[in-house]
Structure 1
Amino acid sequence: MDDTGNPEGLGAELFETLVKMAPTKEEEIKLKNYDGDLSKLGPAERFLKQVLDIPLAFKRVEAMLYRANFETEVNYLKKSFQSLEVTGNRMNVGTNRGGAKSFKLDTLLKLADIKGTDGKTTLLHFVVQEIIRSEGTGAESTNENVQNQTNPQFNEDEFRKKGLQVVAGLSRDFGNVKKAAGMDSDVLSSYVIKLEMGLDKVRLVLQYVKPDMQGNFFNSTEIFLKDAEEKILKIKADEIRALFLVKEVTEYFHGDTTKEEAHPFRIFMI
């Protein structure tokens, strides 16, 4: 812990080790009441006896462990909800305009099963080829079209080349979808709850502060508590917004959201 009372510099591993060393209530009483020769105690017992002389020693350690992990956990939740929000916004574009009808994304998987007369080319092949040509045509500038009008084959080859580049880049565009598909809504919600409940460890330490216990640790802990409460409120707002977007996407692509309530992120697994 530095001079300002911040525990982050010591690392979470140290605090985790100290938390595991915490004695039971019975052991704590025995060590506190021991007035014999300290050299007769083992190294661990001697260390614990000295630590127990510090007011609220292990409660402080638990609070410091929470603080040491806080930013990492907040950043993870932020990025998770951001991925869901970006994906939800992208998939929600135009869903409520022009009287569009909902359809199941699972239906797209059947494109690979519908084959042409040659028994090899599937409808999926055709769709991909059309996307390649369409994207390639759109990418070609007007000036280039004028210059290459005399060579239709050249135009077709160029269209396909540019279209393939666009299709090849789809994996980058779907990066957030992949992240969203790998998430579990219940797990994310439990992380938010755990993060919020963990603040009680910090509040508990401050609750027992006495006038003679003032110092950098308690001052920095008070500042941390206020900052953490604000960040958790923002995280909870991010969670609500992200889950709302997921629900909107599910309603559009599946119609009945009640069937998907248990696994709301299944919509991103197609």
Structure 2
Amino acid sequence: MLYRDGLSLQDLEALSKMVPTKEEEAKLANYKGDIFELGSAEKLVMAMLKIPFAFPRIEAMLYRETFEDEVFHLRKSFSMLEEACKELRSSRLFLKLLEAVLKTGNRMNVGTIRGGAKAFKLDALLKLADVKGTDGKTTLLHFVVQEIIRSEGLRVSESIMGKINQRSKSGNIEDKEENYRRMGLDLVSGLSTELCNAKKTATIDLDVLASSVTNLADGMRKLQALVEKDMIMEEKKGSFVSSMRSFLKQAETKLKELEEDENRVMLNVREITEYFHGDVSKDESNPLRIFVIVRDFLSMLDHVCKELRSSKTPRSPNPLAPFR
């Protein structure tokens, strides 16, 4: 009989790739020649075919051996997705940035059909760097970030620690403005870290996740059929069936929990997408596209913050003048 003891994961994987086709199995079963004329692989397959359910047993053992790792990695991915949704919904600074983008767009479109908008699709964030001022360098994203870092700097300066920090420094109005800017820039620069799971989620392939859960469920059904139907007469008191039944009892519970996790997380993804991006189209090729947009936007934001950190605060009587 074939049992798990003595077979490594590599052994099981190698043996699982040696499953013969029906034609190959028939040829080996009817082989009348000298067995020494066969290759080592053919000899091994021939020997295994003499053991009842040899290859189904191998597949069952391989399934059991990899089950925990599969569940662990899937749970980790679902947990990342869940945290990504929480980050987007709870990030005050991200919402503040979206509000600033909306206000800026409305100010630029006063008197036009696009003025007075109450919302926008997140795709628009990726276009902010395309709108450049008359200097050919300053973009709309620069302007939005400059407004945010000043307002955030003022907010921080009003905090207890901010006031203590302000008192410890003397200086004129320009120095204070630069201090507001520095504190605000520190906060905005940290948004990528705050939304770290949202960025990581952009790399997840949802189809792969879904197919992994499906494959686990299919494998479990095959294993259940093997030990409860196919082998029930072959091995009534055998340790293989007993061992697999014990495994199945625990694995069924874990698989059910995993499927519940998947359903809950996908509902969260749908809700967060609709919250920020409007109705979710059934034809959307990537349900996680919102996170791809956020990742790319944060990359642009980091670049702008780096530029602003090495430059002086621009002064203009009309902050939107460069874009007129």
Same fold? TM cut 0.5: yes
Which residue is 1:146 aligned to?
167
1:228 equivalenced with 2:245 (yes/no): no
Higher relative contact order (CA 8 A, sep 6+): 1
Unaligned 5+ segments in structure 1 are 96-100
What's the C-alpha RMSD, in Å, of the aligned pairs? 3.3
What TM-score results when the alignment is normalised by the length of structure 2? 0.67
**1:136-172 Cα deviation digits (max 9, x unpaired):** 4445513223333655555444444443333333332
1:169 equivalenced with 2:184 (yes/no): no
SS in 2 for 1:183: coil
Q: Distance in 1 between matches of 2:278 and 2:250?
A: 41
Which residue is 1:98 aligned to?
none
SS in 2 for 1:64: helix
1:196 equivalenced with 2:217 (yes/no): yes
1:89 equivalenced with 2:86 (yes/no): yes
Counterpart of 2:268 (choices 245, 259, 262) is 245
Which residue is 2:241 aligned to?
218
More helix as a share of residues: 1
Shift of 1:173: 2.7
**1:54-101 Cα deviation digits (max 9, x unpaired):** 321100011122222222322222222222211222223499xxxxx5
Counterpart of 1:67 (choices 64, 69, 76) is 64
Report the more deviating stretch, 29-38 or 50-59. 29-38
Which residue is 2:113 aligned to?
none
Equivalence map 1:4-43=2 (5 Å): 10-11=8-9, 13-28=10-25, 31=28, 38-39=35-36, 41-43=38-40
Which residue is 2:205 aligned to?
184
Unaligned 5+ segments in structure 2 are 96-117, 294-324
Contact 2:87 2:198 in 1 (8 A): no
Relative distance call for 1:65 and 1:102 in structure 2 (3 A) is: farther
Contact 1:103 1:252 in 2 (8 A): no
Q: Distance in 2 between matches of 1:36 and 1:48?
A: 16
**1:227-260 Cα deviation digits (max 9, x unpaired):** 2222221221121112112211222223222366
SS in 1 for 2:211: helix
Relative distance call for 1:110 and 1:22 in structure 2 (3 A) is: closer
Contact 1:7 1:67 in 2 (8 A): no
Which residue identity does 1:132 align to in structure 2?
Answer: I
Relative distance call for 1:225 and 1:259 in structure 2 (3 A) is: closer
Query: Equivalent pairs: percent with the same residue?
Result: 48
What TM-score results when the alignment is normalised by the length of structure 1? 0.79
Relative distance call for 1:46 and 1:102 in structure 2 (3 A) is: same
